[in-house]
Amino acid sequence: MGLSIGLLLFVGIGESYRVSPMLLLTNICNQAELLKSSIDANLKLGVPIEFQGFGLQAQKLAEQSEQIVRVDIDSNVRNRSTGEAAPNAGATDTQNLSCSMGDKALLRVLTIDWKGLAFESNRPGHHSQYQIKLILEDKIGPVGQLIINPTPGIFNQVINDQFRPVVIFSLLLIIFVPIGIALAQHFVSLHPVRLQKTLYHLTFVVVGFFIIINLIQLYASGIKGQSFSLANSLEARLNAPFKLGFDIDRDLSGIDTLFQDYRLKNQDISHIYLFHDGHVSAASVTEQYAGEECSGVRGDRRGSSGNSDNGKIDCSISSLAYETNNEDFIVTRLPLTNDSYQIVVKTPWEKVYDRLWDATRNILVLFIASILLSNMLLDVLLTVQGNVLKRKPKNGSKDSPKDNPEEISIQSDGLSQSLKLIRPVFALGVLMEAVNLSFLPAYFTRLFEGSGYSASTVFGLYFMCFAASLFPAGRWAEKHSLRNMMLAALTLSVGGLVGLAFTDNPLVILLLRAFAGFGQGVLFIAVQSYLLQLESKDRSIRGTEQLVIGFNMSTISGAAIGALLMPMLGEQGVFMTGTLIGLSCFLYCAFVVKDLDIAPSITKLEPLENRGKGYSIQHLLTDIEFYKSIILIGFPTKALYVGVLIFTMPVLLKEANFDTDVIGQIIVLYYLGVLGSTHLISKFKSRLQQTEWILFFGCIGSGAGLMLIGQQNWFLGLDVVSQLSDHAQNIVFIMVILIGVLTIGVSHGFIHAPIISHVVKSKKATLVGKATTGAAYRFLERLGHVSGPALAAILLFNSDNSVRVESLTTVGIGVTLLGILFVGLNGLSWLYELVRYNKMLHTGEKNA
Amino acid sequence: MPSFTRLRQPTTTAIAVTKMKRFVKIAASCFSMFILIIFLPQTGYSSVQSEAPKSFCEHLDITPAHLKVRGPGCRIADSSWLAQLSNFKDFAEPITVQTTPTARSKVLILSPKWSSAYDVASKTIIEEFHSRGVTTEFILFNYRGDTAQAKTIIKSAEENGVDLIFSMGSATTAFMTEYYKEGAIPVVSACSKDPIAMNQIDASVGMSQHNIAYTSLNISVETQVAYLKEKFLSGLNLIAIIYDRNNPSSIRTQVNPLKDYLDNSDTGIRFELIEVDFSRINKSLYQPMRRFVAHKGEEGDRVFLVTGSTELFDVIEDINVAAKDVPVLSVTPSHVMAGDHSVFMAIGVSFKTNAKLAADYAFRILKGQSHTQTLAVGVVSTPDIAINFKRKPLGSIKVPFNFFEDAFFIFNYDGIAVRADGKSAIASH
């Protein structure tokens, strides 16, 4: 609980660091730009940079602004040759910020003050120092620079002040909720597990709710500050004519253009008005709101710098939503020196909500990831707790276990517990790699630039080693300790990952990824074999489903958590996080997991003869059912997963201008679909004995999902849709993509786990051994992984690297046909078996 | 605008009355003109010529205060400069100006006469060098239009190890182009008309390829038209260019380039030429102006553009009367003055801005960052703007806000300066 609430806080605060400092920086830059434009204007008018008045203006800004502590003017910039450092450039602990930097770049520069979130600190020198340098220019070129020093710790302080109560409240919850749970369990004995999980999730929701509320306040105040500094800047500029005895309406034009320039620089602002005696004198309004309030206010008014705006716009101040508590807009109003004039700046609340949506989406994804992980960890804890409780009365009892009438039930419980105990091994093992998923391709591309290797070489090597380890691991798993295999695999994986944090040598990285690939492959097979053994003992245990669930759960959680951690911790930090997860998994495996005894039921199924390697392969090579499953279902599904979902979909979504994190979250929907349907199948599998039909429906669903995405243009071209607004059409487009991806995910859930059950239940598989068959299948399945991107490049991409969307329909039809063929062939073989059986019966009767 | 105003034609009597009124007005504004003549050279604005001051060094008061000459300061040049000049009967003593106790470079500023415009330019150059931390000894020499003296001082400059020469004014630049383009010391022109229009540089090459780096006192016609049409009067479609037929340099550098540009571009602006012959000014100036005004359509569809000429500027008030409510603009910022004797607005290059550009060129040459041969003609891209609201035509024409912000001189509706040389002139208000 502490871990997941901590992670939630980490993400919530991290999200606030992504948005709030950016708003603050814009605010500071607005103020700095105001001073810069004033100085620039004077420099262009011939006033020398050494003019003392500039220093006074700078001092005044520092005194008036809460966000700026000092402003300096460096007049020696043009005397330095290119590359020569500014006198204060080498100042220690001072980092340069730029007004044009994006939120991600800013986040990389900022140092997060974690301690300040819990304790208030005013210690001097405690906070990081930042500087913003703006070039001052006259008509000839740069003559100096304006050095803005934001208040030390300003970026942290705002967030810390806002979140400190939330952190303290969360800490209290972390301490008191478990006590509450213990007390509740003491008094209420019904459904203790459900109670525990409910209270845990409730705590998560409450903390999440508080984080969102605080984010709203933080963003709103940031946007208000931004609007205010902008209005302030305009006020200063528009007051100049009055100070010289002129009147804006009477003497000057082009205010609309000025407003438009401001609005375009500050994309959050929707309206800027200049009111004169209660009527709009000048305005700039985004297209979205053009004409909504004033018939004369046009969006993006241009060309009015001449004298085309002589007439006043027919809109009175009373007709505008004007109060600062407006429910649609944040409104800032400033009177000019001539108080018949007022500047009104409006920012829609939806800008706050848009930013909040990112945070909420991330929190939601994290919530899902956290539920998945915490459910698993809680199960483990409850299992361990249950074992301890059960052991106590057993120790006191003199009855032999054999005399115990509940022995069978306990045995079944034991298998179920083993399942619960093994799940974290695979989940954490995959999680340690999955946290890197979101940034690894970009990281390797950057790192390998000019080295002669490409990022695809590393991925290729990783998958090759993964695939190469499968078959030998499967063979090894038949006879040796699975626990030791897991430990060895985790050692390789952890070694491969921790090395990445300390090296950028391409060859070493290749070697490390090879280790990691081997490790992950061996771990996969070891856990799969363990689950298959459990499944063999008890048919109610769905081992392969658990494997698929574990893989997808960890991928979802890892990708979500990794993407959220990366901006704050950096690549090395995330590698170290992955290493810690791997080490925890190793320790868990060493102390909790035990090898299973070989059950008699399995022994019966194993062939008595010595099963050499050649013997196994010989059997597999002659197994038509095995081939059919691979060629018609397994290979296309994996090729589709890697080729379409991992390779093509991000490009397609990028073409549609989706952000990278949104793309990641859309892909997560696929994993959720897989997870949901796998879970569903594992529940109803006892009623769904015919795995052929499950696989068939999986193929049909995959095909339908692909066809849906492939026909997006057809949907958008429908009369009903094309008549909608751009916004609504966008929603339809997003819905088509989401439903398509989810459908493919759900359908793949019908395939990923059932296909293993389908493959290992064949007669040949019982001869070869389930672990070997499973490993062989996984190995061949990997060919789909390897060839997926190449097939996608051929089938789905145009020569200019754009996605040929319509081709997805063709692929969808192909997948559907393969499913039909699969069922058709099964029908034929069933008919063949029936005919043969009838023949045998007929022959038997004759003989009789 | 009421129709009777448009239809009214000035009669001979009306013109006589107007002239009388104008005389009175001129007399009345004498005092303010006198003040301005004193004041403007201090601010670096006026181009009005001044006599050589008794003590040039006192006159060359370098502002702001902390930049005032220190160390060796301002004094008559030493004997090494005077030796060869002493052969001339009448010559101005060269002056040296040094803003630091020691100097690492020597620069000669060569002027053909004493002029407040050249004073402004010289001060600006000295201030710019000081501001950039270049320790320099400046030698200022007025060769009084005598090219023999100029040649002598150039020889002295070579002997005294001068690093760079500024040729001040079009006449000096023309002389240097002819005499010294293959010389040993690099030369930068200042306060000189467009070298391309003056045929000093091949337009297709755009650089000198010899020892002189040129700057232009004219803004490019593209910028000029863009400022008029795109930033000011979007409905502008006709420009009447008023020029003095006896001023070939303004014809060459201002009239012809604008004419050629409007002829060959798709700005949608046509032009009419009003060639002024001062011997028959009514026929050559006022009558064409009246015709031009009489056919006025939409407000802001036409303007008068007065080109650089002292004689034309002398009759600027008559031009304003004849222009009625059509704006009278100029390309010479010095055509915007206090009171009535002014155009409405000027968009051009001031001597100060041009001198800053010249100083920048010189700095780059001295630092070895650029070479005179390859430096493109220095043209100021953001022109200087000056506005006199007293000369704003009646009607709804307004000044663009960014012009107002950028204007380095603004005179209010009473013709009084409210912003002078970029600084508010009514701080006490």
Q: What is the pLDDT of residues B310-345, one digit of tens each?
A: 888 889 999 999 998 899 999 888 889 898 889 999
- Comparing A365-379, A740-754, B133-147, the range with the smallest average pLDDT is A365-379
Share above pLDDT 90 across residues of chain B, in percent, rounded to a whole number: 29
Q: Is A41 on the interface with B (CB under 8 A)?
A: yes
Q: Is pLDDT at B235 greater than 60 in this prediction?
A: yes
Q: Which residues in chain B have Cβ-Cβ distances shorter than 8 Å to A243?
A: 424, 426, 429
A271-276 β-sheet, strand order: A279-285, A271-276, A341-348, A329-335
Share above pLDDT 90 across residues of chain A, in percent, rounded to a whole number: 5
Q: Which residues in chain B have Cβ-Cβ distances shorter than 8 Å to A253?
A: 398-401
Q: Is pLDDT at B29 greater than 80 in this prediction?
A: no
Contact A306 B356 (CB under 8 A): no
Q: Is pLDDT at B33 greater than 60 in this prediction?
A: no
**A1 closest CA partner among A177, A160, A126:** A177
Q: Is pLDDT at B226 greater than 80 in this prediction?
A: yes
Helix (H, G, I), strand (E, B) or coil at B108: strand
Q: Is B395 on the interface with A (CB under 8 A)?
A: no
pLDDT at B358: 93
Contact A140 B356 (CB under 8 A): yes
Query: Which band of pLDDT confidence, cut at 50, 70 and 90, is reported for residue B37?
Result: very low
What tens digit of pLDDT does each residue of A202-224 get? 887 888 888 888 888 888 888 78
Distance from CA of A651 to the nearest CA of B (A): 42
Among residues 74-103 of chain B, which lie with CB inside 8 Å of chain A?
none
Among the partner-chain residues B124, B230, B424, the one whose CB lies closest to the CB of A244 is: B424
- Comparing A24-28, A191-195, A496-500, A517-521, the range with the smallest average pLDDT is A191-195
pLDDT (average), residues A431-440: 81
pLDDT at A798: 78
Q: Which residues in chain B have Cβ-Cβ distances shorter than 8 Å to A241?
A: 401, 404
Q: Is pLDDT at A271 greater than 90 in this prediction?
A: no
pLDDT at A705: 92
pLDDT at A403: 45
Q: Is pLDDT at A337 greater than 90 in this prediction?
A: no
Q: What is the H or E stretch that residue B47 is in?
A: none
Which chain A residue lies closest to B392 (C-alpha atoms)?
A: A251
Distance from CA of B423 to the nearest CA of A (A): 8
Mean pLDDT of chain B: 80
Query: Which band of pLDDT confidence, cut at 50, 70 and 90, is reported for residue A323?
Result: very low
**B168 closest CA partner among B331, B61, B47, B19:** B47
Pairwise pLDDT comparison (A314 vs A550), residue with the higher score: A550
Pairwise pLDDT comparison (A83 vs A531), residue with the higher score: A531
The top-scoring range by mean pLDDT among A232-241, A529-538, B238-247 is: B238-247
Contact A46 B396 (CB under 8 A): no
Q: Is pLDDT at A326 greater than 80 in this prediction?
A: no
Q: Kindly state the tokens that stand for A459.
A: 């991925």
Kindly provide the b/e burial profile for residues A211-239, where b requires at least 16 CB atoms within 10 angstroms of the residue's own CB.
bbebbbebbbbbbbbbbbbbbbbbbebbb
pLDDT at A121: 64
Q: Which residues in chain A have Cβ-Cβ distances shorter than 8 Å to B99?
A: none
Q: Is pLDDT at A653 greater than 70 in this prediction?
A: yes
pLDDT (average), residues A107-112: 76
Helix (H, G, I), strand (E, B) or coil at B147: helix
User: Could you give the CA distance from residue A497 to residue A579 in angstroms, rounded to a whole number?
Assistant: 6
Asked if A369 and A361 touch (Cβ cutoff 8 Å), the reply is no
pLDDT at B345: 93
pLDDT (average), residues A584-594: 87
Among the partner-chain residues A46, A251, A307, the one whose CB lies closest to the CB of B408 is: A46
Distance from CA of B317 to the nearest CA of A (A): 22
The separation between CA A233 and the C-alpha centre of its own chain, rounded to angstroms, equals 38
In this structure, the strands spanning B423-424 and A329-335 are: unpaired
Pairwise pLDDT comparison (A602 vs B381), residue with the higher score: B381
Q: Is pLDDT at A85 greater than 70 in this prediction?
A: no
What tens digit of pLDDT does each residue of A123-135 get? 555 567 888 989 8
- Comparing A403-407, A803-807, B396-400, the range with the smallest average pLDDT is A403-407
Q: Is pLDDT at B187 greater than 90 in this prediction?
A: yes
Asked if B60 and B74 touch (Cβ cutoff 8 Å), the reply is yes
Q: Is pLDDT at A544 greater than 60 in this prediction?
A: yes
Pairwise pLDDT comparison (B296 vs A587), residue with the higher score: A587
Helix (H, G, I), strand (E, B) or coil at A291: coil
Contact A254 B400 (CB under 8 A): yes
User: Could you give the CA distance from residue A76 to residue A143 in angstroms, rounded to a whole number?
Assistant: 7
pLDDT at A519: 92
In this structure, the strands spanning B164-168 and A68-74 are: unpaired
Among residues 137-176 of chain B, which lie with CB inside 8 Å of chain A?
none
User: Which residue type sits at A583?
Assistant: L
pLDDT at B21: 56
- State in Å, rounded, how far the first CA of chain B is from the last one: 34
pLDDT at A562: 79
Contact A41 B406 (CB under 8 A): yes
CB burial of residue B342 (10 Å; 0-12, 13-18, 19+): buried
Q: Is pLDDT at A83 greater than 90 in this prediction?
A: no
Q: Kindly state the tokens that stand for A698.
A: 């999986």
Q: State the complex-level ipTM.
A: 0.74
Among the partner-chain residues B363, B400, B419, the one whose CB lies closest to the CB of A253 is: B400
User: Could you give the CA distance from residue A141 to residue A139 in angstroms, rounded to a whole number?
Assistant: 6
Distance from CA of B19 to the nearest CA of A (A): 30
What tens digit of pLDDT does each residue of B108-158 get? 999 998 877 888 889 889 988 887 888 889 999 989 889 999 999 999 999
For A182, other C-beta atoms within 10 Å of its C-beta total 10
Which chain B residue lies closest to A41 (C-alpha atoms)?
A: B406
pLDDT at A756: 78
pLDDT at A191: 66
Query: Which band of pLDDT confidence, cut at 50, 70 and 90, is reported for residue A286?
Result: confident
Which chain B residue lies closest to A239 (C-alpha atoms)?
A: B405
For A332, other C-beta atoms within 10 Å of its C-beta total 23
Distance from CA of B393 to the nearest CA of A (A): 11
Q: Which residues in chain A have Cβ-Cβ distances shorter than 8 Å to B67?
A: 48, 50
- State in Å, rounded, how far the first CA of chain A is from the last one: 71
Which chain B residue lies closest to A139 (C-alpha atoms)?
A: B382
User: Could you give the CA distance from residue A5 to residue A200 in angstroms, rounded to a whole number?
Assistant: 10
For A610, residues 6+ apart whose C-beta sits below 8 A from its C-beta are none
CB burial of residue A178 (10 Å; 0-12, 13-18, 19+): middle
Q: Is B318 on the interface with A (CB under 8 A)?
A: no
pLDDT at A164: 87
Give the helix ranges, DSSP H, for A399-481. Answer: 407-434, 440-447, 455-479
pLDDT (average), residues B271-279: 92
Q: Is pLDDT at A480 greater than 70 in this prediction?
A: yes
Q: Is pLDDT at A311 greater than 50 in this prediction?
A: no
A94-97 β-sheet, strand order: A68-74, A142-150, A129-137, A94-97
Q: Which residues in chain A have Cβ-Cβ distances shorter than 8 Å to B223?
A: none
Q: Is pLDDT at A320 greater than 70 in this prediction?
A: no
Name the pTM for this structure: 0.63
Which of B350, B404, B412, B426 is the best substitution to test chain A (most A C-beta atoms within 10 A)?
Answer: B404
Percent helix / strand / coil, chain A, rounded to 5: 70, 5, 20
Which chain A residue lies closest to B62 (C-alpha atoms)?
A: A48
Task: For residue A502, give the DSSP letter.
Answer: T
Q: Kindly state the tokens that stand for A716.
A: 């958008």
The separation between CA B350 and the C-alpha centre of its own chain, rounded to angstroms, equals 5
Asked if A588 and A428 touch (Cβ cutoff 8 Å), the reply is yes
Q: Is pLDDT at A91 greater than 70 in this prediction?
A: no
Angle ∠(A195,A198,A203) on CA atoms, nearest 5 = 125
What tens digit of pLDDT does each residue of A145-179 get? 899 998 888 888 888 888 888 888 888 888 888 78
Cα–Cα distances (Å) from B159 to A819, B141, B179, B184, in that order, read 97, 16, 17, 11
Which chain B residue lies closest to A51 (C-alpha atoms)?
A: B64
Among residues 306-325 of chain A, which lie with CB inside 8 Å of chain B?
306-308, 310
In this structure, the strands spanning B238-244 and B270-276 are: parallel
Which of B237, B388, B402, B424 is the best substitution to test chain A (most A C-beta atoms within 10 A)?
Answer: B402
pLDDT at B243: 93
The separation between CA A252 and the C-alpha centre of its own chain, rounded to angstroms, equals 51
**B233 closest CA partner among B49, B38, B118, B400:** B400
Query: Which band of pLDDT confidence, cut at 50, 70 and 90, is reported for residue A704?
Result: very high
Q: What is the H or E stretch that residue A252 is in?
A: strand A252-253
Please, what is the angle between helix B116-131 and helix B30-43, to 10°?
Answer: 30
Contact B234 A78 (CB under 8 A): no
Q: Is B406 on the interface with A (CB under 8 A)?
A: yes
The top-scoring range by mean pLDDT among A70-84, A752-766, A821-835 is: A821-835
Q: What are phi and psi of A142, to 5 degrees?
A: -65, 135
Q: Which residues in chain B have Cβ-Cβ distances shorter than 8 Å to A45?
A: 406, 408, 421-423
For A762, left (φ over 0), alpha (ψ -120 to 50), or beta? beta
Q: Kindly state the tokens that stand for B246.
A: 């006896």
Mean pLDDT of chain A: 76
Which of B325, B401, B408 is the best substitution to test chain A (most A C-beta atoms within 10 A)?
Answer: B401
Asked if B202 and B264 touch (Cβ cutoff 8 Å), the reply is no
Asked if A67 and A28 touch (Cβ cutoff 8 Å), the reply is yes
Q: What is the H or E stretch that residue B242 is in?
A: strand B238-244
User: Could you give the CA distance from residue B400 to residue A248 in angstroms, rounded to a whole number?
Assistant: 10
Distance from CA of A314 to the nearest CA of B (A): 19
